[in-house]
Amino acid sequence: MFALQDQEISRAGARDLTRHGALARRLRRTAAGAVCAAAVALPLAGAATAQAATSAPHTLTTTWTNLTLLNGWTNYGSGTAGPAVTNTNGIVHLKGTIMTGGTNTVPFILPAGDRPANEVVVPVDLNAAVNGQLDIKPSGVVTVFSQQGWTYAQQTTSLEGASFAVSGSSFTPLALQGGWTNKGSGFASPAARNINGIVHLRGAIKTVSGSDEPFILPAGLRPNHEVYIPVALCNVDYGRLQILPDGEVFVDAGNMGNAQCGTSLDGAWFAASATNFTQLTLQNGWQNYQNGTTTAAVRKISGIVYLEGAISSGTNPQPFILPVGYRPSHWIYTSVDTSGASRGHVLIAPDGTVNVFGVGGQGNATSFTSLDGVSFAP
């Protein structure tokens, strides 16, 4: 089990490594991640006028299989989707929002064709924007974990945006460095694959060293811009990968001890470029972050909507409205990376209105919000 692994680094040592790693990153890379101390109230999403798409979305229909809930779990309702799964090009995507009044942590078992060859751990969004994880076994058994207490998972567990590769077929193995090794214990070795311009990662890694750079992506699997994408860590913690155009990959987290204990690459993805993406019109004072990142944009591939880019500023939590053709038919709750490798929370309405909230304070979101790694089923 990945989510509750024992620490392999002392907490005191982890704090020292966190401070050292953060300083080194500030010195050699961009300023993304400077935490703003200001915090504001999180208003509810509101309706807004739709903007026109600048290019037609890919309209391929995706077939979804409804999931049978077990152990007292039920659909959340309230405009959210029921739990379902689809497999496109070897990548399994989940959707829907669920809840339970019980204590059993297994809500469903995936169908045989949608099960991973290795154990995977992917991040999910829980009630009150609390960090959660799904641990998925090759048997298809799915277990929900909560970072801050089981009640948050009981009240709301969003499956939106959760994805993983069923196997390593057509994936390119990644060479680890700096003391990083495979996580082992049934997890896949690190690998990457480009599918229709989206680079997907898989596997799990760990280290007992102080290095925060586990590998360098091969030339054909690098983004042409800087990206920041969420990943799951040990002890149901949150972290991110910062990936540079030269292929360098850095792991960043508030507690680097949890990243060293185990960093899951499953479910992590990024767009290699802005090709075929539709640029989004920002509003309410929001701006493209720049500093090596790309502009905010959206693309639909095989029935899945992908966002990319990084944004900042903003006078309220609504940075843009998704164009017609990219809007979900149901409410979406999912996570994003914000300033200082802190989690953000995204709410997307069926009318296309997008709200971004900083979990540690709205200043985290307005300082820096990465849209890379955000996907959903429309």
pLDDT in tens, 260-306: 999 999 999 999 999 999 999 999 999 999 999 999 999 999 999 99
At a CB cut-off of 8 Å and minimum separation 6, what does 75 contact?
Answer: 69, 82, 83, 96, 97, 98, 99
- Condensed to tens digits (0 to 9), the pLDDT of residues 223-263 reads 999 999 999 999 999 999 999 999 999 999 999 999 999 99
pTM: 0.87
Domains located in the chain, CATH noted: 65-165 (2.60.40), 168-271 (2.60.40), 278-376 (2.60.40.2460)
pLDDT of amino acid 243:
98
pLDDT of amino acid 189:
98
- Spans of the chain below 50 pLDDT: 4-31, 33-59
158 DSSP β-pair partners: 97, 125
The maximal CA–CA distance of the chain, rounded, in angstroms, is 52
pLDDT of amino acid 38:
31
pLDDT of amino acid 23:
37
CA end-to-end distance (rounded Å), the chain:
32
Sheet holding 163-165, edge to edge: 65-66, 84-88, 91-95, 163-165
pLDDT of amino acid 59:
44
The tokens for 331 are 């409410």
pLDDT of amino acid 264:
98
pLDDT of amino acid 39:
30
Find how far residue 16's CA is from the centre of its chain.
26
pLDDT of amino acid 300:
97
Q: In whole angstroms, give the CA distance from residue 83 to residue 160.
A: 9
pLDDT of amino acid 72:
98
